[in-house]
């Protein structure tokens, strides 16, 4: 269990993130409902349309052409 300060608990209550360092790892704590909203916005697992796949392939080939030889 984490021991949070009154200020940190207040921030979480208001839906704000709280930065922490746990065993040398930088972490951010947010309320579960905030996390779920962020996850939905940040991650799209829907399938790509054929147009999107073509655009990604064209970009990859363009990037490969300008990257120079592989060593």
pLDDT tens-digit series, residues 23-67:
889 999 999 998 888 877 766 677 888 888 888 888 888 766 665
**Residue 43: what pLDDT?**
67
Which carries the bigger pLDDT value, residue 58 or residue 13? 13
**Residue 27: what pLDDT?**
92
* Assigned domain for 48 exists: yes
Number of structural domains (the chain) is: 1
Return d(Cα 41, Cα 61) in angstroms, integer.
29
* Assigned domain for 57 exists: yes
**Residue 32: what pLDDT?**
93
Domain that residue 51 falls in: 6-67
* Assigned domain for 42 exists: yes
* Assigned domain for 1 exists: no
* Assigned domain for 58 exists: yes
Question: Which tokens sit at 64?
Answer: 């490969």
* Assigned domain for 24 exists: yes
**Residue 18: what pLDDT?**
93
């Amino acid at each position: 269990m984490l021991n949070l300060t009154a200020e940190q608990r207040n921030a979480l209550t208001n839906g704000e993130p709280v930065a922490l360092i746990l065993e040398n790892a930088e972490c951010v704590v947010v309320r579960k409902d905030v996390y779920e909203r962020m996850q939905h916005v940040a991650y799209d697992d829907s399938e790509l349309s054929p147009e999107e796949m073509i655009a990604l392939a064209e970009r990859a080939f363009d990037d490969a052409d300008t990257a120079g030889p592989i060593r």
